Structure formats: C-alpha cells, structure tokens
A and B are shown apart, each in its own frame.
Chain A
Amino acid sequence: MINDKESQKIVDIIQNFARKHSLWVLAYGTGCGAIEIPPTMTSRYDAERLGVRGAATPRQADVLLITGYLTTKTLKRVIRVYEQMQDPKYVIGFGSCTINGGMYFDSYNTIKALDRYLPVDVYINGCMPRPEAVLKGFAKLQELIQAGKADGSKKYKENLEWYRANQKEVIPVWRMPEFNW
C-alpha cells in the first residue's frame, strides 16, 4: 500500500507535519550566537510554542544550530556531531560569519563559508541576529520541511566526496573515522 504513489504523498504530508512541529535543537553553542539562544527559549520569545527545544545529545537532536563562526578546531567536532545525528536532520547557519566569514574574513583560524563543509538548510543573517530573527529562521525551516525541500542531509550523503575533500582541505590532521553514522 505504501508503494502506491498517492498514498506515499499523504504519508509524506503527515510525516513532514509531525517533523516540523518537533524540532529539537542540539545544545551546542559553537560560537557567540549561543548568547541569544537562552532568550529565545525563555519566557518572552518562548520558542517552545513552535516545538523548538533543546536536546542534550546529537542522537536525539534534529537541528544543528551553528551559532556563528567556526574555527577549524570546532569544525572538526561539528562534523563529528553532525554525522552522529540521525535522519531527519537539518542545519541552520546563524549569523553573518557563517555566510561569508563576516568580520573574520581575514582570520587565519575560522572558516569563511559554512556550506562548503556542511549542508545548510537555512541561514539567519545579522551579527547578532535577534531572537525574532531566530524564530523567523525556524519558521522558514518548518515551511521548507512541510514542502519537503529541507533535504540537506540527503545532499550530504550524495555529495559526500565533495564535502569530505573540502573538510580535509582545512583540517590538516583528520584522525576521525571516515564515515560514522
């Protein structure tokens, strides 16, 4: 019955609806953007009404929020964390420095474009983005999920060699399992 195309469509709609309303964010503050996460989660902005809440470990999380610049040292950990996360999983790039390096354009220790190394579903710009902007970002992600367009993890699997080559370009000593999800 599931093989039937029409029924699959309905299953997808229900599945996506369920997914978009329970986005568990991995509690990993990778950069300075982590400071706007507590206000977003607490009483005034209350992200939990959108189904957004924190998760302690990668295996329970759905969303990896990259809160700002990534140094090469953190990038290594973030890749490890991302690969441990279970499907469906989404990445949100938070802040201008994930988009093009921002004010760190000439820093020797931070990466300049996040989507070379991880598939990004939604970018939130600003330095620092306000909680409203964060909520808008989550709303956009929900929209994409409902439409079935948030397929970053699928892209990552399909283009793994390309991503891996880029990652190895900036991480000189790899010392990690090649594929670990």
Chain B
Amino acid sequence: MEELKKNIVNKITGHFADAAVKAYDGNRVDFTVKKETIPAILFYLKDEMGYNHLSHISCVDWIEEKEFELIFILWSYTDHIKVFVHTRIDRENPVMDNIDMIWRQANTYEREIKEMYGIHFEGLEAPEEFLLEDWQDMPPMRRDFDTEAYARKTFWDRREARADAQDVRETITKRTGEELPDVAKKYTR
C-alpha cells in the first residue's frame, strides 16, 4: 500500500508541477492543484494510472476566504486507493471546466453544483433545472443563503401555536408546586 501511494505521488508530482501532496494514513492520497490543471490531472489519473471510478464530486463554500473548493474523489479498482483532487476557485467569478467527457456521470454532479452553488461549467450540456423548479433566489447551498429566514418568509408556519401548550404546563406546575423550569419558559411564547 505504501509503495503504491509513493508511486502515485511521484508520478503526479513529476507530471504536474503545481500539485501539492498530502498523504494520509491508510488508503488515501490528496492532491491540491490549480483549477486549469483539473481536466489534465483527471485524464492522466484515469488513463495512465487506472483510477477509472469517479466516486464523488463535491463542493464546499469557504465564504471567509471568498473561494469555492471543488473535490474530485477517484477510486482505483486495482490499487484500492482513494485519490482526492482539490481545487479552489474564485467565489466572485466561479467558472470551471466541464469534465463530463471523461466520466459521463460527472454531468449529474455538475448540474447539481451549478444549481446549488452557481458555479458555471463551461460547455456543460444539460437542462437548466435539476432539483429546483422556478427558483428565484440566490443558489441555495451558498453559505450566505439563510434557509430559515427564507422558510419563514415564504411558508406560513404553525410554530406560533406552541403557546397552546401553556395550559398543560401551568397544570403541571400547579400540581407539582414547582416553578416553571427555564427551558420550558423559553419555549412558551
């Protein structure tokens, strides 16, 4: 396992000058690259190294650093090693290369990331909408989208009715002769 990991680290760092490596215990190797390198490194990993299973594509919003992080997780059926490829892109102008010609299934992930984070994948051919319908607000998975405020504004909700339980609480206090605990007071409006 350690030799396989060393082998892949050597090959990748030899080919891609901008790849920063972090090797973990067990069967995991991480590379951090610039976004321009992504298609090339994925092509290389798939065709030359045998990492032919794209397990996952994920996106994390690092709003404090004004960046989106994209994570591509690959798996080799022969080496049994997980390779994570990280890249960071600008949050203000999120543009990324499309990779669905390497793995067809990447299309689905990209559609979702596009809808949820507003990242534009160049040359992505897919219907505009994926999970949401007629969405008019900002992409909802961004950190600055407040889902609770949106839900309160959009949907009528019944939480005010919690005051109904007031009489039950009063009966209980009367019976036990105790003061209403603070926790209960907090939830009684």
Contact = CB atoms under 8 A, between A and B. Distances in A.
Contacts of B133: 72-73, 76
Nearest to B161: A100
Contact of A116 (B137, B151, B156, B161): B156
A159 to B, nearest CB: 15
B134 A106 contact: no
Q: Which 10 A-B pairs have the closest CB atoms?
A: A106-B148, A112-B157, A173-B134, A73-B133, A100-B158, A108-B147, A112-B155, A108-B150, A172-B134, A106-B151
A122 interface: no
Q: Which of B132, B147, B151 has the most CB of A within 10 A?
A: B151
Interface of B, secondary structure class, is loop
Contacts, number: 50
A111 interface: yes
Interface residues of A, number: 22
Contacts of B154: 108, 169-170
Given A106-B147, A106-B148, A111 B134 contact: no
B136 interface: yes
Nearest to B157: A112
Given A108-B140, A109-B132, A166 B148 contact: no
A170 B157 CA distance: 12
A105 interface: yes
Interface string B46-76: 0000000000000000000000000000000
Interface in A79-113: 99-101, 105-113
Contacts of A100: 157-159, 161
